[in-house]
Amino acid sequence: MTIDLGGRTAVVTGAGGGLGRSHALALARYGAKVVVNDLSPDGAHAVVEEIIRLGGEALPHVCSVTDRAAVQSMIASTVDHWGAVDILVNNAGILRDKTFAKMDLDDFAAVVDVHLMGSVNVTKAAWSHMRERNYGRVIFTTSSSGLYGNFGQANYGAAKMALVGLMQTLALEGERHGIRVNCLAPSAATQMTENLYSADDLKGLSSDLVSPGVVALAAADAPTRLILLAGAGAFEQANITMTRGVHIGAAPDAAEQIQASWSRIADRTDEQVPASGAAQYHHEVNHPDRTV
């Protein structure tokens, strides 16, 4: 089935280069009108010119996603100009890598502010417009650093995993309003990763190989509450699961029983992906091991 984004308007943050540029170009190729957001005026205007040369429509908007007033202005001007914000790709980010022992807390806060609060700012500004129109596609950029950990990236990993939690709840809240919310965890060679990996490690990790995932998540028939991993042309799904676990109850030696049961608690046989946070509670109070 061919994806057609004609008539849709997309906002892509951090789109003046790297992954954001690839995302913006890919969405434009499928017919979307694109607002190219970036801190760099040169970067934003260059990508807009690329899209126009391809026969698409695009506008630049230069601001930081941490500037709430500027973000609100960007969304409002997009709605004024094109009538809607249908697709939002939260891609803007920074790195401040150091081990936690050596990390300045200002660097921790800065990364959380851009990745997490920047995504919150832009999504909040667009959310009411999407609800009013009963349509929206929101994509958050998470990372394997958050999902699985990465040495020297406590700040980045914490911010990226927080976006998964945000996605889980917004997908539930947006469902009845036609808003589908997902996460993308990309592996790509960009300016942000150039000092982290060797040239051999980065071979084949073109950002252009990730962006088809964004197009699929922006489509009318996109899923919701999905964590899509993408890199080198491969695509996978990550899940936050819950094992069957054990029921111990109010035994006086409950801590010792837990200690003796780690292997059973960790056993992934019959694990599940809970439909919501409340599913954990329902599983626990109705645990199959309960005898009363």
Q: Which are the catalytic amino acids?
A: 156
Q: Give the whole-angstrom CA distance, residue 104 versus residue 38.
A: 26
How far CA 235 is from CA of 95, 110, 179, 225, 231, in Å, comes to 24, 30, 23, 16, 7
Q: Give the whole-angstrom CA distance, residue 136 versus residue 227.
A: 17
Q: At which residue do the structure tokens 């803007």 appear?
A: 92
Q: Phi/psi of residue 68, each to 5°? A: -60, -40
- Whether the Cβ atoms of residue 48 and residue 22 lie closer than 8 Å to each other: no
Its sign, for the CA torsion 166, 168, 90, 155, is: positive
Residues 6+ apart with CB under 8 A from 163: 90, 115, 116, 119, 140, 141, 142, 146, 183
